[in-house]
Amino acid sequence: MSRLARAAAGGILAAAVLAGAACGPRGDETPYPGPGEKKLNLYIWSEYLPKEVIDEFTRRTGIAVHYDLYDSNEPVLEKLQSGVADYDLVVPSDYMVRILIELKLLRPLDRARLKNLKNLDPRFLDKQFDPGNAYSLPYVWGTTGYGYDKTKAGRTEDSWAPLFDPRNRGQILMLDDMRECFAAALKFLGHSLNSTDPAILKQAAVLLKKQKDLVKTYNSGDYENILAAGDVWFAHGYNGQLARVAAADPRRFGYVLPKEGATLWMDSVCIPARARNVESIYAFLDYVLEPEVNARIVNGISYASPNVPARKFIRPEILNDPAIYPSEEALAKCELLEDIGDATTILDEYWTEIKAQ
Amino acid sequence: MRGRGRFLSVYAWLVYVFLYAPIAILVLFSFNRARQTAVWEGWTLEWYRSLAGNDLILASVKNSLIVGLASTAIATVIGTLVALALGRHALRGEGFTRSLLYLPVIIPEIVLGAALVTFYGVLSFHLSLWTVVIAHVVFCVSYVAIVVRARLSGFDRSLEEAALDLGARPLQTFWRVTLPLITPGIVAGALLSFTISIDDYVITSFVAGVGATTLPLQIYSMLKVGVTPEVNAVSSLLLALTVVLIVIAQRLQQAPVERGEMS
């Protein structure tokens, strides 16, 4: 999950509003279309949907699926904003869902058409970014922890502590992402990662400034390769890529979900306001919510799904991998990054100071 | 004197190493057995085999070739005509037109991409592979026109006058005299636009629609899971194709110049 720093998201939002005022689609004016054609245009993260799952859908329903891939959230915003991209389903991350809803680029879900909706774990529903899941259904979720090199770092405690330990000077990689870095610091200090109290934010900023001396690089693009190449001992990052590095060489690499808690992230399926192939969309959504189908997706992509009955069909090595499906108590300490309003400005200032230092 | 010659040749070789070592490593690693891109584990052809079965990458190569060939063909015709018009005739507003020509080359790609997608939005022109072709024509026309104009600036007009004097009609003069003389410029411009088109990411990412994923877009989307050696393999194949194209182009370029000098 490489994501642009949320600082940038604010700027993109502002630009998006301006562009939207000029020529963007008016979601609220789009009439609800007819059933549409027997085809489906997907715009989805790479490696989020195994080909065999798509092929079986086409076999069953006769609906042809075209899909294009992306590796960050911003192209989704850009395509939907253009008003001329014919996508029927997109899979943005939590914060981007909120932006898309505010810009009226999504179509409300017709829940009555989804008989498999009950399969979703309520813990992943009704979040701040989309109250009541009016527009989005959680598709996969994960955590932001860190990967480490067992041969060099030795035994590590299940904590954020090693990333702030002067003994690891020059061997630490942090995500180049303001909210994620503050989340690590805030959790290490025992606070919520959505704290808005200026005193607490200041403590976190002081910690991150001190940490900067220890950090070799800030990177959100290919941190897992840097870890795998042996250039750092610790790499802060999303569980998906880091778990893949660990799976390729489990004796050398591991993933840690710190005991203090961490970021929980979710990518959700949404219908663009201008989507036309409505029958195909709902057929597909109900299809991927089927337990067996959903389990085949999880088995293929090694990301956790919020589908409860699917767990019966998921391969045990995935279900029991704490890097993919963490324990209940570890998960209970994780939080989604929420919109923290004016506190974002405070974080922006601190982050600029840290990066410029 | 001799010492300086040796220094210069060592220096030249170092520059070549600097330029080509990364590419050589990419080709080498396309034969690497390890899936992780940073470690060498021995020779294999496995990535070329799995590339042959990777529908997504192959579809993106096909898209890239369609876009590259179509936009090069269109841009070469338009760009050459523009260069001829600007180079041969005194037009009103010529200076302005000439500056306009440089615009797609100098404005940041991201601005051009955003402008194009807004333009398509205003026209309700749905994004597809053809919107990518149109976008590529926009910047390729400039490159072709600039290169052909440069060739025209050293053009000896007396050759055309001689042809006309000897009774050739204007069209005959164009096909028999003018065109062969500027062919090297046209080929160079076409090659340049094909190369720029085939690796364009920024503008393409803005204007690509359903099913219009080109190779650069495909590679970027794969970064999330790390660049696999399949990407190295497909890059090596494209590199080989480009080298072949350049060799052909150089052969073509040399021939007409000699003929031109003789006449």
Q: What is the mean pLDDT of residues B178-190?
A: 89
Confidence of residue A32 (pLDDT cuts 50, 70, 90): low
Structural domain contains residue A91: yes
Lookup result for tokens 């604010």: A10
B36, B55, B225: residue with CB nearest A46: B225
- Chain B residues with beta carbon closer than 8 angstroms to that of A224: 226
Tell me if B120 and A46 make a contact (CB, 8 A cut-off): no
Residues facing A145 on adjacent strands: A237
Q: Which residues contact A111 (CB under 8 A, 6 or more apart)?
A: A117
Contact A117, A237 (CB under 8 A): no
Q: A18 — contact with chain B (CB < 8 Å)?
A: no
**What percent of chain B shows pLDDT beyond 90?**
33
Question: Nearest residue on chain B to A220, judged by CA atoms?
Answer: B224
Structural domain contains residue A1: no
Distances (CA, A) of A126 to A96, A122, A129: 16, 8, 8
Tokens of A260: 């203090």
Lookup result for tokens 């065999």: A52
Tell me if B212 and A1 make a contact (CB, 8 A cut-off): no
Number of CB atoms found within 10 A of residue A181's CB:
28
Is the per-residue pLDDT at A31 higher than 60? no
Chain B closest-CA separation from residue A190 CA (Å)? 31
Tokens of A203: 């403590």
Distances (CA, A) of A269 to A45, A61, A69, A289, B122: 11, 20, 14, 11, 28
Domain spans in chain B, listed from the N-terminal domain onward: 55-262
Answer yes or no: do A110 and A13 share one domain.
yes
Amino acid type, B43: W
B36, B122, B205: residue with CB nearest A228: B36
End-to-end CA distance of chain B: 40
What's the domain count of chain A?
A: 2
Answer yes or no: do A193 and A165 share one domain.
yes
- Chain B residues with beta carbon closer than 8 angstroms to that of A83: 121, 124
Answer yes or no: do A29 and A131 share one domain.
yes
B114, B221, B226: residue with CB nearest A69: B221
Lookup result for tokens 């057929």: A283
Chain A closest-CA separation from residue B133 CA (Å)? 16
Tell me if B206 and A51 make a contact (CB, 8 A cut-off): no
pLDDT value, residue B219:
84
Contact B46, B33 (CB under 8 A): yes
Q: B63 — contact with chain A (CB < 8 Å)?
A: no
Cα separation of A205 and A181, whole Å? 10
Give the DSSP H or E segment for B41. none
Confidence of residue B253 (pLDDT cuts 50, 70, 90): low
Cα separation of A142 and A349, whole Å? 28
Structural domain contains residue A329: no
B124, B225, B227: residue with CB nearest A84: B124
Confidence of residue B3 (pLDDT cuts 50, 70, 90): low
Tell me if A23 and B122 make a contact (CB, 8 A cut-off): yes
Report helix, strand and coil shares of chain A as percent, to nearest 5.
45, 15, 35
Question: Nearest residue on chain B to A245, judged by CA atoms?
Answer: B36
pTM, full prediction: 0.80
Q: Which residues contact B124 (CB under 8 A, 6 or more apart)?
A: A83, A84
- Give the closest residue to B263 by CA, choosing from B169, B181, B184: B181
Tell me if B213 and A69 make a contact (CB, 8 A cut-off): yes
Tokens of B70: 């179509």
Amino acid type, A315: R
Q: B32 — contact with chain A (CB < 8 Å)?
A: no
Cα separation of A304 and A308, whole Å? 11
Answer yes or no: do A14 and A92 share one domain.
yes
Strands (E), chain A: 39-45, 64-70, 89-90, 136-149, 172-174, 215-218, 234-238, 253-256, 263-270, 335-336
Tell me if B223 and A75 make a contact (CB, 8 A cut-off): no
Name the A residues in 44-63 with CB < 8 Å from any B CB.
Answer: 45-47, 51
Answer yes or no: do A259 and A282 share one domain.
no
Residues facing A341 on adjacent strands: none
Tell me if A19 and B118 make a contact (CB, 8 A cut-off): yes
Q: Which domain holds residue A218?
A: 142-263+336-356
Answer yes or no: do A283 and A296 share one domain.
yes
Q: B225 — contact with chain A (CB < 8 Å)?
A: yes
Q: A82 — contact with chain B (CB < 8 Å)?
A: yes
Answer yes or no: do A40 and A76 share one domain.
yes
Mutate to test the interface with B, among A3, A69, A89 (most CBs of B within 10 A): A69
Q: B235 — contact with chain A (CB < 8 Å)?
A: no
Q: What is the mean pLDDT of residues B22-49?
A: 81
pLDDT value, residue A27:
41
Distances (CA, A) of A83 to A18, A40, B67: 14, 17, 23
Q: Tens of pLDDT along A37-72?
A: 889 999 998 888 998 999 999 999 999 999 898 888
Cα separation of B48 and B236, whole Å? 10
A41, A71, A78: residue with CB nearest B210: A41
Answer yes or no: do A259 and A342 share one domain.
yes
pLDDT value, residue B36:
64
CATH number at residue A222: 3.40.190.10
Q: What is the mean pLDDT of residues A300-321?
A: 93
Structural domain contains residue A330: no
Mutate to test the interface with A, among B210, B218, B219, B230 (most CBs of A within 10 A): B210
Lookup result for tokens 């230092």: A357
Tell me if B36 and A75 make a contact (CB, 8 A cut-off): no
Main-chain dihedrals φ then ψ at residue A254, nearest 5 degrees:
-140, 165
Q: Tens of pLDDT along B217-243?
A: 988 887 666 667 888 888 888 888 878
Lookup result for tokens 């022109």: B125
Kindly report the CA angle at A15 between A143 and A174, in degrees rounded to 5?
30
Contact A135, A108 (CB under 8 A): yes
Tell me if B225 and A70 make a contact (CB, 8 A cut-off): no
pLDDT value, residue B255:
56
- Chain A residues with beta carbon closer than 8 angstroms to that of B221: 45-46, 69-71
Q: Which residues contact A265 (CB under 8 A, 6 or more apart)?
A: A1, A93, A94, A141, A142, A143, A144, A238, A336, A337
Answer yes or no: do A134 and A17 share one domain.
yes
Please give the full DSSP string across B195-215, using - where no structure is assigned. Answer: HHHHT--HHHHHH--TT---H
Tell me if A84 and B223 make a contact (CB, 8 A cut-off): no
**Cα A325 off chain centre by:** 15
Cα separation of A68 and A208, whole Å? 38
Q: A26 — contact with chain B (CB < 8 Å)?
A: no
Report ipTM for this prediction. 0.75
Please give the full DSSP string across B137-164, using - where no structure is assigned. Answer: HHHHHHHHHHHHHHHHHT--HHHHHHHH
Answer yes or no: do A233 and A344 share one domain.
yes
The CATH H-level superfamily of B55-262 is MetI-like (1.10.3720.10)
Contact A334, A262 (CB under 8 A): yes
Answer yes or no: do A147 and A33 share one domain.
no
pLDDT value, residue A229:
86
Distances (CA, A) of B126 to A44, A78, A87, B208: 19, 14, 11, 10
Confidence of residue A6 (pLDDT cuts 50, 70, 90): very low
Chain B closest-CA separation from residue A189 CA (Å)? 30
- Give the closest residue to B138 by CA, choosing from B114, B106, B116, B108: B116
Answer yes or no: do A44 and A118 share one domain.
yes
DSSP A262: -
Tokens of A332: 């209970």
Is the per-residue pLDDT at A280 higher than 70? yes
